[in-house]
């Protein structure tokens, strides 16, 4: 099957690029002597996870319990559910544990710790727990300098059926860095805060075996992971325009694209209109503040090569408007109605969530497989 026979919009995955991205991260972290726990939320697919070297990963990270159930049913038993636990989700977590999964949960409050301890007591089943640390003021997590860290650690350490494992942090602010050096500094801050928190816990007599850090930018550019036991990252498998803007990868490394069809022109405005709007590309504008603003996506031919200067500059639900980024005129005849283009996404995770499958292409652009995605919660 070639790309002209697929109904659009469709999500295309370049298998060789995924493999190269995975192999590059594997060898980078191997050279830094730290283990990798890939985040399964970008791919939401077992075939992608199976592209990691056997034995190199001990487990994965997930962002939904649906992913946890899916990956477990596909043979992965060691799973960190890296979104703060909602008490109502604990029954589902214990159901997975009773089936043989090792599900580690994360939390940053006494209310969550209390719910987890009560549920574990109720099921008379141990549950591994990590304290989430807010190493960069990005989102959730315990303030690394606060006395509350030790308070929470003592509570978890003493609670029956809670297997307190250590700390986890995610330097999501690395997405807002402007230079590679800034990312390196962010990576060092992420590492240092996590290690210092673990040391504070250990000095208070609370064992801390896991020190888990990671985001794609910090994983890719860090100078070292001294003291860290595992690195989590997900988007590196596909890469995207935000990562290219951060110099974490090149545009050519981006393995995922949205196949779209030209459905119209607006000659007087110099527009090409395609059938991929925000419901296919997402509204993510992650490159807006970067050196090169890529609009809602960078336009490529079906071979995957960017078409000089063309971006999706505005989106409606099912319409995308392609213009030249510098307002230069486009030879519209080169994009007749029915012509296919591939659009590289700003944020691969956000774009992929609209699709239930990947059309997997080889380097020549021939579709060789279809892989399903496990969307939803």
Ligand X SMILES: Cc1ncc(COP(=O)(O)O)c(C=O)c1O
List interacting residues with ligand X (CB under 6 A). Answer: 39, 61, 82, 170, 214-216, 232-236
Q: How far is the CB of 218 from ligand X (least distance, A)?
A: 8
Nearest to 375 by CA among 354, 361, 360, 359: 354
Q: Are 286 and 50 in contact (CB under 8 A)?
A: no
User: What burial class does residue 272 get, using C-beta atoms within 10 Å of its C-beta: 0-12 exposed, 13-18 middle, 19+ buried?
Assistant: buried
Q: How far is the CB of 204 from ligand X (least distance, A)?
A: 25
> Closer CB to ligand X, residue 213 or residue 361?
213
Long-range residue pairs from 323-329, CB within 8 A, at least 24 positions apart, any chain: 323/269, 323/270, 323/271, 323/272, 324/270, 325/293, 325/295, 327/270, 329/270
> Closer CB to ligand X, residue 15 or residue 39?
39
> Closer CB to ligand X, residue 17 or residue 170?
170
Q: How far is the CB of 60 from ligand X (least distance, A)?
A: 11
> Closer CB to ligand X, residue 166 or residue 214?
214
> Closer CB to ligand X, residue 34 or residue 235?
235
Distance CA(240)–CA(245), nearest Å, equals 9
> Closer CB to ligand X, residue 112 or residue 313?
112
Q: How far is the CB of 36 from ligand X (least distance, A)?
A: 11
Q: How far is the CB of 205 from ligand X (least distance, A)?
A: 27
What number of other Cβ atoms are within 10 A of residue 273's Cβ? 18
* DSSP, residue by residue, 100-116: T-EEEEEE-SHHHHHHH
What SS3 state is found at 354?
coil
DSSP 147: T
> Cα torsion for 226, 131, 377, 20, to the nearest 10°?
0
Q: How far is the CB of 236 from ligand X (least distance, A)?
A: 6
């Amino acid at each position: 099957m070639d790309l002209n026979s697929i109904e659009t919009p469709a999500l295309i995955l370049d298998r060789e690029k995924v493999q190269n991205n995975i192999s590059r991260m594997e060898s980078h972290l191997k050279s830094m002597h730290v283990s990798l726990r890939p985040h399964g939320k970008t791919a939401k697919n077992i075939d992608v996870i199976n592209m990691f070297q056997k034995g190199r990963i001990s487990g994965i990270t997930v962002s939904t319990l649906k992913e946890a159930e899916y990956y477990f049913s596909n043979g992965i038993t060691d799973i960190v559910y890296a979104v703060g636990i909602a008490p109502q989700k604990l029954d589902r977590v214990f159901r997975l544990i009773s089936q043989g999964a090792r599900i580690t949960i994360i939390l940053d409050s006494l209310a969550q710790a209390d719910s987890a301890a009560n549920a574990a007591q109720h099921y008379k089943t141990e549950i591994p727990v990590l304290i989430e640390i807010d190493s960069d003021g990005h989102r959730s997590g315990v303030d690394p300098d606060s006395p509350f860290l030790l308070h929470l650690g003592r509570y978890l350490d003493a609670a029956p059926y809670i297997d307190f494992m250590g700390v986890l942090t995610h330097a999501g602010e690395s997405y807002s860095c402007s230079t590679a050096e800034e990312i390196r500094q962010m990576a060092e801050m992420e590492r240092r805060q996590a290690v210092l928190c673990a040391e504070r816990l250990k000095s208070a007599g609370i064992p801390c075996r896991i020190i888990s850090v990671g985001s794609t930018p910090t994983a890719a550019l860090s100078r070292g992971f001294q003291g860290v036991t595992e690195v989590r990252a997900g988007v590196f498998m596909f890469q995207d325009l935000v990562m290219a803007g951060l110099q974490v990868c090149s545009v050519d490394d981006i393995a995922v694209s949205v196949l779209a069809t030209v459905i119209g022109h607006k000659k007087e405005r110099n527009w090409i209109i395609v059938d991929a709007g925000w419901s296919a590309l997402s509204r993510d504008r992650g490159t807006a503040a970067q050196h090169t603003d890529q609009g809602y996506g960078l336009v490529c031919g079906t071979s995957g090569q960017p078409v000089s200067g063309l971006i999706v500059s505005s989106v409606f639900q099912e319409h995308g408007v392609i213009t030249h980024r510098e307002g230069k005129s486009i030879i519209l005849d080169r994009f007749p109605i029915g012509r296919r283009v591939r659009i590289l996404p700003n944020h691969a995770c956000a774009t992929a969530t609209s699709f239930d499958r990947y059309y997997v292409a080889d380097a020549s652009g021939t579709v060789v497989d279809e892989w399903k995605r496990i969307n939803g919660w």
